[in-house]
């Protein structure tokens, strides 16, 4: 079921349809070029589908349905449309012999049929998936923050480029991104749920990186769900907090809400993988292709994540709905409601 729409009062897009299409290309070209240069990444070709049962597909929170189908010419083996390329990228780092300090990025396209549709969520997911090989000594919170700051600089440079080409789109990002742990948020706002905590924090700071997604907090619940086999959410860091992962969240002045643009983190090593599989009761995954290669030491240590393409286009072009920058399927009621409020979906 669709979530209630946010319908900004007196909304009118700053760009018409033709300007929007040109601006989308500008945002995507600028961002991926800057990201590649900043993180030492090179583009690779990635799959849309993978074989079921290899452990390569991203399980997200572990409850979402995947789009799947039998392959007639392969004895009806089941293929799945990827949810993300979190684990595939790490295999690619090994197979491409990528050196430490360098990495890859690719266009990731997914279909998530269980998504609850609203201003920011659609059935179609498009993001840049990236992965960078790292050393053992870099598996710490300081290095995670170092990479987050680099990505944030790319966001700011992209925003500047958009403003240079479309002066009506004024920059809104703060100079710096603020780091805050999910455990600190829970302690500061125990009566709020995780989404409400994010909203309070990002409204105050403008741009935040919430650290520690997946482990239980003091109230017995995680800030949000994370699969046990890509991000490391169990390693203890500063102040006894857990987690070497997090989300980049921006304050969206059009929708007046928290706006996540990236999920990322330092990936599991053998020890954290085994511990997280144990915690989540998924130890049977140890027999899958990806997990066996990781446990056997065949995959490099890495950091990586996904950055929403339509999300950042929506943000920088100051649109009220992701359907203004992405062609997808929407309920008829959503289309009609948006039209009444000057929101025209592609």
Q: Active-site residues: which are they? A: 58, 112, 127, 247, 260, 263
- 239 CB contacts (<8 Å, ≥6 apart)? 181
- 14 CB contacts (<8 Å, ≥6 apart)? 166, 168, 169, 317, 318
Q: Please identify which residue in the block is written with the tokens 């002045």.
A: 253
- Give the ranges where the chain is alpha helix by DSSP (H): 17-39, 86-95, 141-165, 182-188, 194-205, 270-280, 289-295, 309-316, 332-340
CB 127 within 8 A of CB 308: yes
Q: Distance (Å, rounded) from C-alpha 245 to C-alpha 255?
A: 26
Instruction: Label residue 318 left, alpha or beta by phi (over 0 means left) and psi (-120 to 50 means alpha).
Output: left
The Cβ of residue 336 has, within 10 Å, a number of other Cβ atoms equal to 10
């Amino acid at each position: 079921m669709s979530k209630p729409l946010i319908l900004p009062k007196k909304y009118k897009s700053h760009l018409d349809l033709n300007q929007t299409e040109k601006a989308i290309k500008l945002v995507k070209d600028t961002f991926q070029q800057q990201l590649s240069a900043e993180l030492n990444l090179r583009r690779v070709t990635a799959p849309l589908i993978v074989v079921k049962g290899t452990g390569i597909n991203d399980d997200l929170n572990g409850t979402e349905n995947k789009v799947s189908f039998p392959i007639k010419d392969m004895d009806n083996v089941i293929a799945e449309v990827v949810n993300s390329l979190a684990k595939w990228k790490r295999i690619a780092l090994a197979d491409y012999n990528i050196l430490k300090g360098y990495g890859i990025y690719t266009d990731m396209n997914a279909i998530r049929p269980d998504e609850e549709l609203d201003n920011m969520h659609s059935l179609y997911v498009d993001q840049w998936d990236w992965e960078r090989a790292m050393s053992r000594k870099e598996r710490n919170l300081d290095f995670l923050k170092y990479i987050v700051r680099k990505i944030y600089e790319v966001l700011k440079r992209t925003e500047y480029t958009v403003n240079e080409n479309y002066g009506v789109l004024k920059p809104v990002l703060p100079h710096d991104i603020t780091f805050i742990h999910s455990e600190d948020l829970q302690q500061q706002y125990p009566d709020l749920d995780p989404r409400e905590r994010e909203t309070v924090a990002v409204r105050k700071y403008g741009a935040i990186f919430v650290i520690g997604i997946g482990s239980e907090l003091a109230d017995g619940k995680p800030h949000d769900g994370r699969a046990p086999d890509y991000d490391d959410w169990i390693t203890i860091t500063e102040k006894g907090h857990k987690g070497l992962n997090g989300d980049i969240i921006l304050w969206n002045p059009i929708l007046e809400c928290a706006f996540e643009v990236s999920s990322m983190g330092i990936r599991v090593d053998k020890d954290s993988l085994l511990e997280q599989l144990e915690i989540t009761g998924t130890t049977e995954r140890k027999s899958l292709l990806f997990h066996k290669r990781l446990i056997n030491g065949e995959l490099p240590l890495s950091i990586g994540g996904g950055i929403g393409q339509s999300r950042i286009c929506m943000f920088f072009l100051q649109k009220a709905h992701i359907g203004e920058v992405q062609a997808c399927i929407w309920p008829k009621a959503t289309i009609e409601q948006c039209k009444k409020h000057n929101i025209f979906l592609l």
